[in-house]
Structure 1
Amino acid sequence: MTERMGFFTDTSVCIGCKACEVACKEWNDVPDDGFVFRATSYDNTGSLGANTWRHVAFIEQPRRTPPREEWTGAEGGEGQDGRDGREGHDGIEGWLMSSDVCKHCTHAACLDVCPTGALFRTEFDTVVVQADVCNGCGYCVPACPYGVIDRRERDGRAFKCTMCYDRQLGGLEPACAKACPTDSIQFGPLDELRVRAEERVERLRREGRPEARLYGASPDDGVGGDGAFFLLLDEPETYGLPPDPVVTTRDLPAMWRWAGGAALSLAGAVTVSFLSTRRGPVPSPAGARRGWWR
């Protein structure tokens, strides 16, 4: 059995260069996604989608003015700098950069709902879409707990990151990890990456970054752990990630059992009704002696 391979994305060293986005597009021949300026961020790709398999988010951190009691000489009324004593936003404190990608879930709902087998799990335990098998039904799109997979408007087929399956078959690392100049994106055996990530979190906390945390690394989370996990410097919601993702098809087995039981009960009721109609009413003993049913 081949080792499970994965991504560890350390957002603490991401510089937002977008080299991973460019490398992904070039290697996988991913088309232009329009580069629409949304007037909400300097990030021009916006989000993951059928034409963006790696997405570098630029997240502005607003600077907050301190409460009045922390200002010099601010006892009642306005502070010496003329502010009114209320805490609020005051410009930009800094930026969080994060290169997002398909999570290659341990329990992948997209695999559960695909009716054609277009989605399959590789020998590296990654999840890949076969575009020539996809019929464009779109069932996988709402099934993804992260909103990663999407359909291309041009032909309706679904696309997402393959973790450069073709490069892995040739013994090469994915294009995004190869192009990353800061090693923010690290590729390798998933178990080794998890150990490396834990050590990195401990180091950051010792250096005064108590907010450092891992996201998607635990096998005990709602999707059984991700094949692509992250070191974050803020809450997951800040990065547009669900705080507690769950596999959306977790209740399917119970639902199928319930539906099967209901179908059997209905079939039994229909059968009893049909047999009763054919036989007619059951005669009483007196009626049987008179032979009224003949």
Structure 2
Amino acid sequence: MSVNHKVGFVFRQENCVGCQACTVACQIHNELPENHRFRKVDRYEVEHKDGSKDVWLSHSCMHCENPACLMVCPTKAYHTREDGIVVLDREKCDGCGLCTEACPYSAVSIREDDGKADKCNMCVELLDRGMQPACVSGCPVECLKTGNLNETLKKPSASKEGIGYTDSITKPNMVIIKERA
């Protein structure tokens, strides 16, 4: 993997309005069952001098540099692409669930319809054609995108920490932009 081109999600947390359009776009694109989601939007109530304020965190698989799911999978159903995207080969999955227990971000789940693990693959089929993932295209306020994380982290407003999100031993590939656009 090129150290200079690590792809990940870039999220402008202060711009997110919690509409969950990213979740719906992902669900439609991936033809997921109604009760199954790759992208989730969590609400946090944060106290400010003017009272409380809702802050949202849109998240999915973090495509970690040290993916716990990959490390525990007995069937070797996971692999990391050169650009850092962690992909699951569902054909190899035996449904043991070790990956769901290992993921610190609850990004992997077992589907009820076939008993196998499933997760966000950052819409690699779209990225490989020069397009953006469904969640990014679906965001009406453009607070979510993909990008070269090494370049993004050079910006003073970029961080590996946000409300509801923190860096961990798995080295997640998501960056929070802390200033409003």
Structure 2 CA distance for aligned equivalents of residues 63 and 113 of structure 1: 41
Aligned residue number for residue 28 of structure 2: 26
Looking at both structures, which has the greater relative contact order when contacts are Cα pairs under 8 Å and sequence separation is at least 6? 2
Please report the TM-score for the alignment, with normalisation by the length of structure 1. 0.53
Alignment pair present for 1:178 and 2:137: yes
Partner of 1:148 in structure 2?
107
For the pair shown, which has the larger CA radius of gyration, 1 or 2?
Answer: 1
1:182 positional shift:
2.3
Q: TM-score under structure 2 normalisation?
A: 0.83
Aligned partner letter, 1:56: V
Superposed CA deviations along residues 116-150 of structure 1, whole A, max 9, x for unmatched, are 12111123211111122211011111111222211
Matches within 5 A, 1:1-294: 3-33=5-35, 51-61=36-46, 93-196=52-155, 199-200=156-157, 214-215=160-161, 221-223=168-170, 225-231=171-177
Describe the SS at the equivalent of 1:215.
coil
Shift of 1:57: 1.5
> Contact between 1:150 and 1:159, CA under 8 Å: does it hold in 2?
yes
Determine the C-alpha separation between the residues in 2 that align with 1:143 and 1:94: 32
- Greater helix fraction, Structure 1 or Structure 2: 1
Distance 2:142 2:48 in 1: 28
RMSD (Å) for aligned C-alpha atoms: 2.5
Q: Deviations over 1:59-116 (max 9, x none)?
A: 2346899xxxxxxxxxxxxxxxxxxxxxxxxxx7221112111111111111111121
Please give the alpha-carbon distance, in whole angstroms, between the structure 1 residues aligned to 2:93 and 2:150. Answer: 32
Unpaired runs of 5+ residues, structure 2, are none
- Cα deviation digits, residues 223-245 of structure 1 (max 9, x gap): 2x321233579xxxxxxxxxxxx
Structure 1 CA distance for aligned equivalents of residues 109 and 132 of structure 2: 24
More strand per residue: 2
Identity rate, percent: 35
Q: Within 1, Cα distance between the matches of 2:168 and 2:67? A: 13
SS at match of 2:104: coil
Residue 40 (structure 1) aligns with: none
